[in-house]
């Protein structure tokens, strides 16, 4: 039997203050780029894209006076890495608005190969045809397998294939911080 790799914390790359600054900067970039914030929707990919979407929405309301609609998307059944016979743990998709007339910004914590975003695009299309779809990620770590790039990035962090990035949000984990982890 092969032992599972152990993940060790290698370096903290963002504390709560740096995460907040990155998210504030992303909100300002969204406000500068998107023409009509009233037609905007921020949809978080479960699990850690949801707090990012909600924080961006609150910041846009605070800074611009308009709070974009927010929702969450469970992509479990759209993933291409589910093996036959696996019982996936389904979470809830919450989209209490029509996406068809809106510009949608998909939000996620880390952009890596692009496969999660591909699954999210497949899932989102089942809910309608958005006017446009953009991507906001807190961390872009490179290593794409698909031609997907984020429109809004909090921080770019070059990594090796032995490393992982783990984002912790107060809402889901009780703390705001981001770490590089290394497989042993």
What pLDDT digit, counting tens, does each position of 23-43 carry? 999 999 999 999 899 999 999
- What is this structure's pTM? 0.93
**pLDDT tens track for 122-152:** 999 999 999 999 999 999 999 999 999 999 9
- CA distance linking residue 134 with residue 149, whole number of Å: 9
Measuring CA to CA, which residue among 28, 33, 51 is closest to residue 42? 51
Domains defined along the chain, listed by start: 15-75+99-159 (3.40.50.2020)
Instruction: Find residue 23's DSSP bridge partners.
Output: none
- CA distance linking residue 77 with residue 93, whole number of Å: 12
């Amino acid at each position: 039997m092969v032992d599972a790799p152990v993940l060790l914390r290698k370096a903290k790359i963002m504390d709560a203050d740096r995460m907040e600054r990155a998210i504030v900067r992303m909100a300002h970039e969204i406000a500068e780029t998107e023409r009509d914030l009233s037609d905007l929707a921020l949809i978080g990919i479960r699990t850690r894209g949801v707090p990012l979407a909600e924080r961006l929405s609150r910041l846009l309301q605070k800074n611009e006076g308009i709070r974009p609609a927010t929702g969450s998307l469970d992509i479990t059944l759209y993933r291409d890495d589910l093996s036959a016979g696996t019982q996936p743990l389904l979470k809830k998709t919450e989209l209490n608005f029509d996406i068809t007339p809106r510009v949608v910004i998909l939000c996620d914590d880390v952009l890596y190969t692009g496969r999660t975003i591909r699954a999210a695009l497949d899932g989102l299309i089942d809910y309608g045809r958005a006017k446009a779809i953009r991507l906001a990620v807190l961390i872009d770590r490179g290593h794409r397998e698909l031609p997907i790039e984020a429109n809004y990035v909090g921080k770019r962090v070059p990594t090796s294939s032995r490393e992982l990035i783990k984002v912790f949000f107060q809402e889901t984990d009780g703390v705001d911080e981001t770490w590089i982890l290394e497989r042993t």
